[in-house]
Amino acid sequence: MTETYTALARKWRPKTFAELVGQDHVRRALVNALQTGRVHHAFLFTGTRGVGKTTIARILAKCLNCERGAGPEPCGECASCREIDAGRFVDLIEVDAASRTKVDDTREILDNVQFAPTRGRFKVYLIDEVHMLSTHSFNALLKTLEEPPPHVKFLLATTDPQKLPVTVLSRCLQFNLKRIPTAQIAEHLKAILEKEDIGFEPAGIALVAQAADGSMRDGLSLLDQLIAFGGGRAGEAEARAMLGTVARDHVVQLSERLAAPDPAELVRFAQSLEQWAPDYAQLLDELASLLTRIAIKQVVSDYEGDDLYPPELIARLAGSLGAEDVQLYYQIALIGRRDLALAPDPRTGFEMTLLRMVAFRPAADEGQASAAPARASAATAAPRAPQSASAAAASASGEWHGLLAQLDLQGAARQLASHCALIGREGTVVRLSIDPRSRSLRTASLEEKLVQALSKHFGQPVRLEFVGASEPAETPAQARQRASREEVEAARRAFEADPGVQGFRERFGATTVPETIRPVK
C-alpha cells in the first residue's frame, strides 16, 4: 500500500517557538508572558497570509495546556500536546469566521464559554479571519471579551485588522506579524531539503523564496510543486520553467550590452529574446533587480551578491557600468515597466525602454547631456569656437524661456520657475539658479511640482540642483520686466517725437510728464 504523502507545509509546520522562523518580536513577547505567568485573556495576530498567525496561536495553546505545566516550552509528548498538533484537542476550539459570520453561529460557540475546560488547563478559542464576522457577531463576542471567565483565552487572527471594531481592538493584545525576508525563507527551504535528502540548486531555491513574497507557507507549497515538476529535484532551470521567469543569462547579457556603446547590438539581442516568448514585464523587473545589486556593489565594496548573481559577476558589471548610468537605467526600467500596458505591444514597449536607456545615457566624456546619436553627429560636425561664459549663459537663458512656455505649470510653481535661470542640463540633472530676491518661493512642494513638470516634458525622471551662477543669467521674470521697461521707453520716445506734442510745446509752452506713460495692464 502506498504511503500517504504529507505536504511540506504541514510536515514542517513549527510545533514550538524555537522552531518558528522569523517573527522574533512576537516570540519574545509571548515567551516572556508565559515565563512570568502574565498571559492576557485575548490576543490578536495580524499579517498577510502564510506568515504564521495560526501557527503561533496553536503553539501558544499548547504552551497553556501542556500536561507538564504551562510555560514557553511545551513537551510535545503528552496527550494534550499531541492532540493539539493533530487538531483534535477538545479544549482548543478553532473557528473559521469566514464561514461562520452569522450571529447565531457566534452565540452557539460562545454559549459554552462559561463551562470549565474538559481536559486542559484553559479553554482556547482560535478565531481565524475574525474580521469576517458580522456586526452582531462582534457585539456578541465583545460581551465575552469584556468579562471573560478566568479559564478562557481568545486567540484572534486576521489579514485585515482595519475591519475590526475599535471596541474589540482595545480589548486585545495586538501583534503584527511581518513578511518573512526572502533570504530567511531561502535558508529555511534549504535546511528542509537537506533533511529530506532532496537535491537542489541554490539559485532555484532563491527563485522560489522570491516568488513566495514573504509567506513561508507559500514558499513551502511552491517548493512542493517544484520537487514534483523537477522529478524529485529542485533545480534552477526547473524553477524558472515552473514560475515562468526568464533565464538569468538573458538578464546578464542585457546588462553587458547596456555597458557597451553599441545600441544596435542591444536592439538585436532584445529582438532575439522573442524566441523564448518572455514576459517582458518580468524581464524589466529582473533587470531592475540586477541593477540594484550592481548599485549596492558600487557603494559597498564587500557586498558579495547572492545565490542568483555570484559576487564575481556583480563585481564585473559594477566595474563596467557607471554609477550614474546604473541609477538612470534603474529608473527608466521602472517607468518602462509601469508604461508597458500603454505600448502598442509588450515587445515594442520593452525595446523602446532599452533605447531610452542608451538615448539618455549621460555623456561623461563631454561633460554635458546628449543622446548617443547626438554625440555621434557632434563628433563629425565642424569644430566651433568656444563660447564665452556670458554667451553660454545667454544661450541657456533663451532655452529656459522657451522651455518654460511648454511646461505644464500653474500658480506659484510657475512663478518659481519664472524666477529661475537655466545653468545647464547634464543627464538627468537640471541645474538652475534662482533670483536672490525670490528665494522665498523655493519650497519643497513647489520644487516637487517643477520636477514633475520637467520629468513629464523630457519623458524621464529628472533631478533639480540649485547652484550659484558665475555669470548672472536673466530669468523669464526679469526678461518680462526688461521687455516691459523697453516698451515703455519706446512709447515715451515716440510720444516725445510726436508732431502734435511738439506743437503743443512750441505754441503753449507745454511740458510732458514721462512717468504717466505706463504699460496697459
- The pLDDT tens digits of the residues spanning 142-196 come to 888 888 888 999 999 998 888 888 988 988 999 999 888 888 999 999 999 999 9
188, part of any domain: no
Q: Do 170 and 31 belong together in one domain?
A: yes
What is the pLDDT, as a whole number, of residue 518?
Answer: 67
Q: In this structure, what C-alpha cell is assigned to residue 140?
A: 456578541
Burial of 166: CB neighbours in 10 Å, binned 0-12, 13-18, 19+: exposed
Q: Do 279 and 312 belong together in one domain?
A: yes
CATH number at residue 215: 1.10.8.60
What is the pLDDT, as a whole number, of residue 369?
Answer: 37
Q: Do 330 and 452 belong together in one domain?
A: no
CB count within 10 Å of CB 53 equals: 26
What is the pLDDT, as a whole number, of residue 284?
Answer: 93
Q: What is the pLDDT along the chain (521 residues), one digit of tens a residue?
A: 456 778 888 888 899 998 888 888 999 999 999 999 889 999 999 988 888 899 999 999 999 999 888 888 898 889 999 999 888 899 998 888 877 656 666 677 777 788 888 888 999 999 988 888 888 888 888 888 888 888 999 999 998 888 888 988 988 999 999 888 888 999 999 999 999 999 999 888 988 998 888 889 989 999 999 998 888 889 988 888 888 666 777 888 899 888 886 888 888 888 888 877 788 898 999 899 999 999 999 988 888 777 778 788 888 888 888 888 899 999 999 999 999 989 899 999 999 999 999 888 765 444 333 333 333 333 333 333 344 444 444 485 567 888 888 888 888 888 889 989 888 888 888 889 988 888 888 888 889 889 999 988 888 888 899 887 666 678 888 888 888 888 888 888 888 887 777 777 777 677 777 777 766 55
Say if strands 429-434 and 420-426 run parallel, antiparallel, or are unpaired. Answer: antiparallel
Q: Do 31 and 113 belong together in one domain?
A: yes
How far apart CA 35 and CA 18 sit, in angstroms, is 15
Q: Do 15 and 118 belong together in one domain?
A: yes
Please give the residue range of the domain that contains residue 215: 197-243
Q: Do 347 and 468 belong together in one domain?
A: no
Distance of CA 498 to the CA centre of its chain: 69
How far apart CA 406 and CA 403 sit, in angstroms, is 5
489, part of any domain: yes
Which of 408, 467, 423, 462 is closest to 442 using CA atoms?
467
Of 474, 491, 506, which closes a domain? Answer: 474
**Count of the separate structural domains present in the chain:** 5
Q: What is the residue type of 380?
A: T
281: Cβ contacts below 8 Å, ≥ 6 apart: 337, 340, 346
What is the pLDDT, as a whole number, of residue 220?
Answer: 92
Contact 477/435 with Cβ under 8 angstroms?
Answer: yes
Q: Do 170 and 209 belong together in one domain?
A: no
Say if strands 152-158 and 173-176 run parallel, antiparallel, or are unpaired. Answer: unpaired
Q: Do 236 and 349 belong together in one domain?
A: no
Q: In this structure, what C-alpha cell is assigned to residue 160?
A: 485585515
190, part of any domain: no
Of 337, 359, 381, which closes a domain? Answer: 359
How far apart CA 428 and CA 328 sit, in angstroms, is 8
Helix (H, G, I), strand (E, B) or coil at 425: strand
Half-sphere exposure of 125 (CA within 13 A, CB side): 25
CA distances from 171 to 143, 147, 148, 156 (A): 11, 10, 11, 11
257, part of any domain: yes
